[in-house]
Amino acid sequence: MKREWEEVLEAAYTARESGDDSPERIRSICHVELTDHLVEELEKAGLLDRDETRIHLTKYGREEARRVVRRHRLAEVLMKYALNLNQDAVERVGCEVEHSLIPEMEESICILLGHPTHCPHGRPIPPGDCCRKSKDVVSKTVVSLLKLKSGDKAKIAYIKPKNHSRLHRLSSFGVVPGTIIEVHQTYPALLIRFENTELAMDKEIAEDIFVWRL
């Protein structure tokens, strides 16, 4: 979804939440300029409804808006309480993250933070699936490859780019984000297997490879 759309959805949701969802209010809190053209686009996409005086979210639009708002507020909690970042950074990064957080990460963050209900500004965080099922075990955390045991399967999330040539070597063997690997042994060296490749590596390399447990 386009960034501008998400901004409009977020503004409409927040306006409604605060009890004043007049077009003027929405326009004033929206981070992008709310042009007629933009509203038309959203209407066409089935996210907004419009009559003479008011703009409101459709059912589908509300769902999408909830997700954007949830991501934004989760990110704020993460940064303020878990990472102790300053207010300015919280605002800036929060606005970025709402557009780019992928679902797996959203869920993991929510579980890690213990399903927070309110953002640092005191506004409610729309609950997600994980909150409703009150999951308390993170099945989707990113961990270092070093943490896996023999027999574990995992999908590579990212590789810490500490050393260029090393990263390049790994990538030329097919160790890239998205590759699904299986740990075969951890001592005396770590051995991973994927497709038809077996790679042995020491813990210095393994600790820089981060994976989703499967």
Partner 1 sequence: MTGTEYTLLDTPGIHSIFSLSEDESVARDTVLASAPRILVIVGDAKHLTRSLALLFQFAEYHIPMILNLNMMDEARQRGIYIDTERLARNLGIPVNPSVAVEGIGLRSLRRLMDEAKVCRNGVPLPEPAETYLRDFQTILDDPTLPARALGLQVLTDDPATGSFLARNLDLERLSEIQGLAANTRRLFFQPPEVLLNQAYTRYAQRVAEEVQTVSPPAHMPFAERLGVWSRNVWTGIPIALLVLLAMYLVVGEFGAQFLVELIEGRLFGEIIVPFVQQLMEPLRLDILERAVTGEFGLLSVGLSLALGVVVPVLFTFFLAFGVIEDSGYLPRLSILMERLFRRMGLTGKGVLPIVMGFSCVTMAIMTTRILETRKERVIATVLLLLGLPCAPLLSVMLVVLTQLNWQAYVVVFGVITLQMFIIGLLAGRFLPGEQPIFFLEIPPLRIPRFKNILEKTIQRIIHFTSEAIPVFLFATFVLFVLDELGFLRLIERLGQPVLEILLGLPPESIRVVLSTMIRREAGAALLKDLFDHGVFNDVQTVLLLLLCTFLVPCVNAVLVTVKEHGLRTTVAIISVILPYALLAGMALHYIFTLTEITFR
Q: Are 65 and 9 spatial neighbours (Cβ–Cβ below 8 Å)? A: yes
Of 16-24, 49-57, 140-148, 185-193: span binding partner 1 (CB under 8 A): 185-193
Nearer Cβ to partner 1 (200/214): 200
| Minimum distance of partner 1 from residue 185's CB (angstroms) | 6
Nearer Cβ to partner 1 (108/186): 186
Tell me how many residues contact partner 1 (CB under 8 A): 29
Nearer Cβ to partner 1 (122/178): 178
**157-176 binders of partner 1 (CB under 8 A):** 161, 164-174, 176
| Minimum distance of partner 1 from residue 207's CB (angstroms) | 11
Question: What is the rounded CA–CA span in Å between residue 124 and residue 91?
Answer: 17
Alpha helices in 19-158, H assignment, sequence order: 23-29, 36-44, 59-77, 87-100, 103-112, 129-132
- Neighbouring C-alpha atoms within 13 Å toward the C-beta of 160: 13
Burial class (CB in 10 A: 0-12, 13-18, 19+), 125: buried
| Interacting residues with partner 1 (CB under 8 A) | 161, 164-174, 176, 184-185, 187-189, 191, 195-202, 204-205
